[in-house]
Homo-oligomer: A and B are copies of this chain.
Amino acid sequence: MDLTAHTLDLTLTTPFRISRSVQTLAHNVLTRIDAEGLEGIGEAAPSGYYGERRESVFMALSDFGERIEADPSLIEDIVTAMDRRLHANAAAKASVDMALYDLLGKRLGAPVYQLLGLNPDRTPLTSFTIGIDEPAVMARKAAEAAKRYPILKIKVGTDHDLEIVRAIREATNATLRVDANAAWTPKQAIRVIRELEPYNLEFVEQPLEPTDLEGLRFVREHVTLPIIADESCETESDIPKLVGVVDGINIKLMKCGGIHHALRMIHTARAHHLKVMLGCMIESSLAITAAAHISPLVDYADLDGNLLVSDDPWEGVQVEQGKLILPDRAGLGVRPRDHDAKRQALANAASSSRHSRRATRVEVDEEE
């Protein structure tokens, strides 16, 4: 089994602003595993917020790829080995995990959802995210987006969140979720959420800083909207302490380390009757499709990273009025978007050396 890593640059259609940062580019990594004449592909979207950047992904994969000799169908073993050696490099691990599932599916001639016994028709609708901007601009974007996406996720955590939500609600009847990305204090959260509650929202994501679990419990007890933990919940070991603290968790492949870990998180969350959301970073259709394969297991999807970029080189999951439409090809079912894109992808792959280590400057490297 031969593991190589390559640059995968993505450009956002418009700068993407959340409460703590703005992002215009995503310096992602394409991971390829070749074995038995087949090619498995995965993607890392490293986030500086979680301590990763493209260079650290290259280093982790180089270190790991040189040592690994396992049969790529032994996903459990390889994931365990990555957890031991690449502990916090979740995006790097996710890219390998995805490539392994892609390879297993291709080897068995089955889509990943079928390996997992899932019904591809049960995918949820994904939300489409509206980044922070002037309220009028956000309202205009929301109205435009609502024509194609019945669920919108609104980034908040400004000093004028009520104005934003009011303007958007006046502009559209879409289902609305809000995400504060850890911007509020507990009392502020309760005040703002109560102000927002009349505007018919679905839930509030990550109102407080990640470690303030007692604050989250306090907020949850004082508002009626469900509270979903995102930054507070990276891997399965975070779930037990969130029971009774929030109503649900947002799982991202780039936080937990891939499909294998995400399945563990889903099952653990279900045993605790927590709601499950599946989210993403700014990712191409490669990583988004990987997440979409397990989306029949979740309540809420926010798998729109690929919809926010102008140069997605891959074609995989499609979205029709928000509904995630899984490809029925073997493995992840992801292929180059068109011949031009294919040539570009091949050229990129050829230009980056095996186990590339590049001192890539990470301009903005933030989670969605």
Contact = CB atoms under 8 A, between A and B. Distances in A.
Contacts of A297: 76
Interface stretch (A13-21, A57-65, A261-269): A261-269
A117 B296 contact: no
A220 B140 CA distance: 61
Interface in A236-268: 236-237, 239-240, 243, 260, 263-265, 267-268
A117 B239 contact: no
Contacts of A74: 117-119
Interface in A70-120: 73-77, 79, 100-101, 104, 108-110, 114-119
B239 A76 contact: no
A270 B260 contact: no
Contacts of A115: 108, 115
A271 interface: yes
A357 interface: no
State the number of copies, please.
2
Nearest to A109: B108
Nearest to A107: B110
Given A100-B117, A117-B260, A267-B264, A272 B73 contact: no
A122 interface: yes
A104 B74 CA distance: 18
Contacts of A116: 76
A264 B270 contact: yes
A119 B296 contact: no
A120 to B, nearest CB: 9
A99 to B, nearest CB: 13
B271 A264 contact: yes
Nearest to A263: B267
A300 to B, nearest CB: 17
A130 to B, nearest CB: 32
A232 to B, nearest CB: 15
Given A108-B110, A236-B270, A271-B264, A296 B76 contact: yes
A237 B100 CA distance: 31
Nearest to A101: B117
B264 A119 contact: no
A100 B265 CA distance: 24
Contacts of A77: 119, 122
A337 B186 CA distance: 65
Contacts of A267: 236, 263-264, 267-268
Interface in A295-323: 296-297
A296 B114 CA distance: 22
A267 B240 CA distance: 12
Nearest to A100: B117
B119 A76 contact: yes
Contacts of A104: 114, 117
A279 B84 CA distance: 28
Contacts of A296: 76
30 contacts: A73-B114, A73-B117, A74-B117, A74-B119, A75-B117, A76-B117, A76-B118, A76-B119, A76-B122, A76-B296, A79-B117, A101-B117, A104-B114, A108-B108, A108-B110, A108-B114, A108-B115, A117-B260, A236-B267, A236-B270, A236-B271, A237-B271, A240-B240, A240-B243, A240-B271, A264-B270, A265-B271, A267-B268, A268-B268, A268-B271
Question: Which A-B residue pairs are the 9 nearest by beta carbons?
Answer: A75-B117, A264-B267, A268-B271, A267-B267, A236-B271, A108-B108, A74-B119, A268-B268, A77-B119
